[in-house]
Structure formats: structure tokens, C-alpha cells
């Protein structure tokens, strides 16, 4: 169900949609890079680290999601050359697309 809310002039001003629809649209694969992530990489962080920090995860959090040790994850996070399969797994653990790690 969609609800349209009119403004004082009688014209549509807002649309209210179900939360699930909003979340689907919000999480659509747009491959966007938040300014915070880009800024962290300019400051020297790898894209993986920048995303992890932006999303508020620790290395241990992501390592647990991947089923590996924190030290093994740290090596991957600091690698200049991640394998495609590793990049895809890390992206999934972060809840982003692999393309968002390729910049």
C-alpha cells in the first residue's frame, strides 16, 4: 500500500511506502561509494578497511563472518591484490557488492 500526503497547496508532497519496499530500494545494488569510505582511502586505508570502519565492524567481526582468524583477515584487508573470490566473500560479509571494493 502506498500513501500520498498532499502539501498545503493540495499537491502531492510525500509518498509513504512499506518499510520492506523502502529497504529493498535503499539496498539496491547501485555500487555507490560513500564519501566517508572514499575519504578513508585517501587517508591511506585499503577499500576493505575503509568499508569495514565505515560500517562499524571490527576485524574480528568480519573474520568471524568469514570463518577465519582475525590475523588471516587482517592480512587480506591489507593486501594490495585480493583474489576475486576473496573480494566477493569479504564484500558479502560487509553487506556490500564486490564492485564497491573495486575503486
Assigned domain for 22 exists: no
Assigned domain for 84 exists: yes
CA dihedral (98, 73, 60, 64) positive or negative? positive
Assigned domain for 14 exists: no
CB 101 within 8 A of CB 51: yes
In the chain, how many domains are there? 1
Assigned domain for 13 exists: no
What is the pLDDT averaged over residues 66-71? 98
Asked whether the predicted pLDDT for residue 29 surpasses 70, the reply is: no
pTM of the model: 0.72
C-alpha cell at 68: 577465519
**Angle at 102 (CA atoms; ends 100, 103), nearest 5 degrees:** 95
Separation of alpha carbons 43 and 37, rounded Å: 10
Assigned domain for 4 exists: no
Domain extent, residue 68, equals 35-101
CATH of the domain at 53: 1.10.260.40
pLDDT at 96: 93
Amino acid at each position: 500500500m502506498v500513501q500520498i500526503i498532499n502539501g498545503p497547496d493540495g499537491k502531492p508532497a510525500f509518498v509513504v511506502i512499506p518499510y520492506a519496499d523502502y529497504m529493498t530500494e535503499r539496498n539496491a545494488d547501485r555500487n555507490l561509494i560513500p564519501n566517508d569510505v572514499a575519504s578513508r582511502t585517501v587517508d591511506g586505508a585499503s577499500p576493505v578497511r575503509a568499508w569495514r570502519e565505515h560500517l562499524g565492524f571490527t576485524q574480528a567481526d568480519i573474520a568471524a563472518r568469514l570463518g577465519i582468524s582475525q590475523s588471516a583477515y587482517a592480512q587480506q584487508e591489507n593486501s594490495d591484490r585480493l583474489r576475486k573470490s576473496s573480494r566477493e566473500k569479504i564484500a558479502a560479509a560487509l553487506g556490500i557488492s564486490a564492485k564497491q571494493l573495486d575503486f
